[in-house]
Amino acid sequence: MSGAKSGGMSAPMSELRKGKEKTAPKQTEKQSGKLDKGSSAKETEESGSQSVGSATGQAGTPEEMQQEEGINHQEVITQLETENAGLNDRLLRKQADFENFRKRVAREKEEMARYANSMLLLDVVEIIDDFERAIKFSQESKDFEAFHSGVELIEKQFISMLERKWGLNRFDSKGEIFNPERHQAIATEENDEHDQPTVAEDYQKGYLFHDRVLRPAKVKVVQPTTEVKRDEKQPNNTEAIEGDNDGKNNRN
């Protein structure tokens, strides 16, 4: 009996123990869950505080922000000053180049104007050589006729060269109607042979450079007499009277 009782009592005790063992893990799981939630909350708080601290650390105080902005402005100012110095240097170089170019052009223009007549002078030198040969020949031969012919030939060659190569033309004025653009009257006389002022004599030849008067000719001008001028301005009275009589007769 006692053995059976002891066996029967031992069975319920073992079941109680098993039940306690089963409930104990559940409680430990709940406690661990609470602990996990608490620790995670603490971790989130710590991480939040760390993030806030890091954010505040990155932003810094207003003084630090102003200091950083000041450094950036200083860098920009330094860069702009460097660029400005470079542009000023380029401008000075361009101005110097332009000044040198202007001086070179002025020098070349002056040299061109100075030596522009070099070809003309070479032609003139050849004419001078011809005159020297003519003078030397006249001294040796004492032949005036030959010397005169030689000088005339040199003159013709000289005028022909100027006309052909340089556009200088000599014109005659005798017999032309007086033109103040081509003629310079240094003497005048009246004559009833001409009804307009006319060149009677050339004292000095005139020259044209291409189509422009280089030098007017100095001439003597013949002007119509005063009576001829009056006859041109006023009609003859007898002719006027005869004209009136003819008109009356035709009417009758």
- What pLDDT shows up at residue 27? 47
Residue 19 covered by a domain: no
Q: What is the mean pLDDT of residues 207-223?
A: 95
Residue type, 108: E
Greatest pairwise CA separation for the chain in angstroms: 206
**Per residue in 60-85, is it b (16+ CB within 10 Å) or e — as a string?**
eeeeeeeeeeeeeeeeeeeeeeeeee
Q: What is the CATH number of the domain that holds 188?
A: 2.30.22.10
Position 226 pLDDT exceeds 80: no
- What pLDDT shows up at residue 142? 81
- Extract the tokens encoding 233: 């301005």
**pTM (2 decimals)?**
0.51
Residue 189 covered by a domain: yes
pLDDT per residue as tens digits for the range 66-113: 555 555 788 889 889 999 999 999 999 999 999 999 999 999 999 998
pLDDT per residue as tens digits for the range 28-67: 444 444 445 455 545 555 555 454 444 444 555 655 655 5
Q: Are 216 and 181 a contacting pair, CB within 8 Å?
A: yes
Residue 239 covered by a domain: yes
Residue 175 covered by a domain: yes
- What pLDDT shows up at residue 178? 95
**Angstrom distance (rounded) from CA 179 to CA 198:** 9
More confident residue, 89 or 12: 89
Q: Which domain holds residue 198?
A: 170-252
More confident residue, 63 or 23: 63
- Extract the tokens encoding 36: 């996990």
Compute the mean pLDDT over every residue in the chain, rounded to the nearest whole number. 75
Angstrom CA distances, 10 to 2, 15, 19, 23, 76, stand at 12, 9, 14, 20, 92
Residue 39 covered by a domain: no
177: helix, coil or strand?
strand
Residue 160 covered by a domain: no
How many domains are there within the chain?
1
Residue 36 covered by a domain: no
More confident residue, 126 or 13: 126
Residue 188 covered by a domain: yes
